[in-house]
């Protein structure tokens, strides 16, 4: 019952957090339309986009850059028609739905609205007149399913890397930390400073950023959260404090780095590789390999190392652990250091696949909470299992629902788990991790 109350409180806190973050999202001055054109995860350059108002009068046009991005300002809030010039698409690609070359979108005051044009391979289908239920259509479905499942696995590993720290911190302190998403963002931007400002290669900047963020996590508990615990601050109060801290850090990042997305100096664009029905890039495979190695290392450390055993003891019963001679405060600070370092690594790897943004942690925070809740609050292995399920569900669901709504599935998972099994898949009384 206690876990259900805590989980439900975390869910309500998340809703408050998302509502409170509204002013930070409206950073843009004026209204506009923007988007990114990608083909199987790779940016598409040179595609022409045009915008007209509701009456058909031209408003502006743009051509996608090397990152596949485009942006067109509009004079005021209202309804606009966004058209992609299919003649400018690369050979072998076409719109996934050719009837949606023109989209009608509503732009509200102060909004910079994103517009998506999903692409797909066009080879082998033009002029065949194949019916939707022919083998070629079936083959296309399974090819798409395989690609989305692979993308879901990649997303799930990223979510898991961030969620492990979130789960460990909750397990040892009981704190539902809504500022954890900002730890991913800070890690990505610390690496960005080392990479672009100091001129270090990303392979050197990334490990340095992880070390810096580990020290930041240790100091965060030593001088902030640890002080609140000594003052007997309640968990609900600390959760609300974490929401305020998240808002402060996000707006601080917005003030320092601005609202425009920025890339790393290396690995911005790579040639894709085909592996069976799956299309990906070398950097994506390397990132997935790093994520798997780190997650396995964390799991083995929890089982076999002294710190891991002490962490599990503190998570199960802090008072008993302290009476057994374990320095609970030291263990909690090391957990904060490790959790922050792993979250920073997740942010860095996420930054290699997209532009860095002050909102990147916020955008993945709901998915992390869904993964942690599904797997089991306070369990590191539960966070891994839950995150992989959430990642696969979010991506594969776009076979049947619009891509713009795919993160809604994470919220549905979160609500259903809270109603049916609040302790999650691996959330038992006796647990490891």
pLDDT (tens digit, 9 = 90+) per residue, 325-364?
888 889 999 999 999 999 999 999 998 888 888 988 888 8
Take residue 111 and report the two structure tokens written for it.
């909004």
Query: What pLDDT score does 118 carry?
Result: 82
Q: Is residue 29 over pLDDT 70?
A: no
Q: Is residue 419 over pLDDT 50?
A: yes
* Lowest pLDDT segment from 11-25, 309-323, 409-423: 11-25
Domain coordinates in residue numbering, the chain: 2-26+146-420, 31-110
Question: How many other CB atoms are there within 10 angstroms of residue 353's CB atom?
Answer: 15
Query: What pLDDT score does 190 carry?
Result: 95
Q: Is residue 433 over pLDDT 50?
A: no
Query: What pLDDT score does 416 carry?
Result: 78
Q: What is the pTM of this model?
A: 0.70
Q: Is residue 130 over pLDDT 60?
A: no
Q: Is residue 69 over pLDDT 90?
A: no
Spell out the CATH class of 2-26+146-420. Answer: mainly alpha
Q: Is residue 215 over pLDDT 60?
A: yes
Q: Is residue 375 over pLDDT 50?
A: yes
Query: What pLDDT score does 213 carry?
Result: 94
Is there a shared CATH topology between the 2-26+146-420 domain and the 31-110 domain? no
Q: What is the 3-state secondary structure (H, E, C) of the chain?
A: CHHHHHHHHHHHHHHHHHHHCHHHHCCCCCEEEEEECEECCEECCCCEEEEEECCCCEEEEEECCCCCEEEEEECCCEEEEEEECHHHCCCCEEECCHHHCEEEEEECCCCEEECCCCEEECCCCCCCCCCCCCHHHHHHHHHHHHHHHHHHHHHHHHHHHHHHHHHHHHHHHCCCCCCHHHHHHHHHHHHHHHHHHCCCCHHHHHHHHHHHHHHHHHHHHHHHHHHHHHCCCCHHHHHHHHHHHHHHHHHHHHHHHCCCCECCCCCCCCCCEEECCEEECHHHHHHHHHHHHHHHHHHHHHHHCHHHHHHHHHHHCHHHHHHCCCCHHHHHHHHHHHHHHHHHHHHHHHHCCCCECCCHHHHHHHHHHHHHHHHCCCCHHHHHHHHHHHHHHHHHHHHCCCHHHCCHHHHHHHHHHHHHCCCCCCCCCCCCC
Q: Is residue 179 over pLDDT 80?
A: yes
Q: Is residue 323 over pLDDT 90?
A: no
Q: The domain 31-110: what is its CATH number?
A: 2.60.40.10
How far, in Å, CA of 85 to CA of 80, rounded? Answer: 16
Q: Is residue 431 over pLDDT 70?
A: no
pLDDT category, 115, cuts 50, 70, 90? Answer: confident
Query: What pLDDT score does 317 carry?
Result: 80
Residues contacting residue 425 through CB under 8 Å, at least 6 positions apart: 374, 375, 376, 382, 385, 386
pLDDT category, 187, cuts 50, 70, 90? Answer: very high
Residues 133-147 have a mean pLDDT of 70
Q: Is residue 407 over pLDDT 80?
A: no
């Amino acid at each position: 019952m206690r876990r259900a109350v805590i989980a439900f409180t975390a869910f309500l806190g998340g809703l408050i957090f998302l509502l409170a973050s509204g002013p930070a999202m409206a950073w843009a001055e004026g209204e506009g339309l923007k988007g990114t054109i990608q083909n199987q995860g790779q940016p598409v350059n040179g595609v022409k986009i045009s915008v007209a108002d509701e009456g058909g009068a031209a408003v502006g046009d743009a051509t996608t850059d090397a990152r596949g991005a485009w942006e067109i300002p509009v004079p005021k809030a209202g309804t606009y028609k966004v058209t992609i010039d299919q003649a400018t698409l690369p050979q072998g690609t076409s719109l996934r739905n050719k009837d949606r070359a023109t989209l009608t979108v509503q732009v509200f005051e102060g909004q910079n609205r994103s517009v998506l044009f999903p692409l797909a391979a066009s080879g082998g289908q033009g002029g065949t007149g194949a019916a939707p239920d022919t083998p070629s259509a079936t083959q296309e479905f399974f090819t798409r399913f395989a690609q989305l499942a692979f993308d879901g696995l990649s997303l799930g590993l990223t979510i898991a890397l961030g969620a492990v720290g979130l789960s460990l911190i909750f397990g040892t302190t009981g704190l539902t930390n809504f500022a954890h998403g900002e730890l991913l963002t800070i890690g990505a931007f610390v690496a960005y400073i080392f990479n672009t400002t100091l001129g270090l290669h990303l392979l050197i900047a990334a490990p340095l950023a992880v070390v810096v963020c580990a020290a930041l996590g240790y100091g965060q508990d030593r001088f902030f959260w640890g002080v609140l615990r000594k003052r007997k601050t309640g968990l609900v109060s600390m959760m609300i404090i974490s929401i305020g801290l998240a808002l402060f850090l996000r707006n601080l990042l917005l003030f320092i780095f601005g609202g425009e997305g920025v890339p790393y100096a290396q690995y911005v664009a790579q040639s894709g590789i085909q592996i069976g029905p799956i299309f990906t890039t070398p950097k994506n495979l390397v990132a997935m390999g790093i994520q798997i190695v780190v997650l396995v290392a964390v799991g083995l450390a929890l089982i076999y190392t002294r710190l891991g055993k002490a962490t599990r003891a503190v998570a199960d019963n802090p008072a008993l652990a302290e009476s057994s001679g374990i320095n609970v405060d030291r263990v909690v600070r090391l957990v904060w250091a490790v959790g922050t370092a792993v979250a920073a690594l997740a942010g860095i790897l996420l930054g290699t696949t997209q532009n860095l943004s002050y909102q990147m942690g916020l955008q993945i925070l709901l998915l992390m909470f869904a993964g942690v809740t599904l797997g089991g609050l306070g369990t590191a292995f539960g966070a891994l299992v839950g995150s992989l399920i959430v990642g696969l569900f979010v991506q594969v669901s776009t076979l049947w629902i619009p891509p713009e709504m795919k993160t809604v599935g994470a919220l549905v998972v979160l609500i259903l788990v809270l109603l049916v099994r609040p302790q999650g898949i691996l959330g038992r009384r006796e647990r490891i991790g």
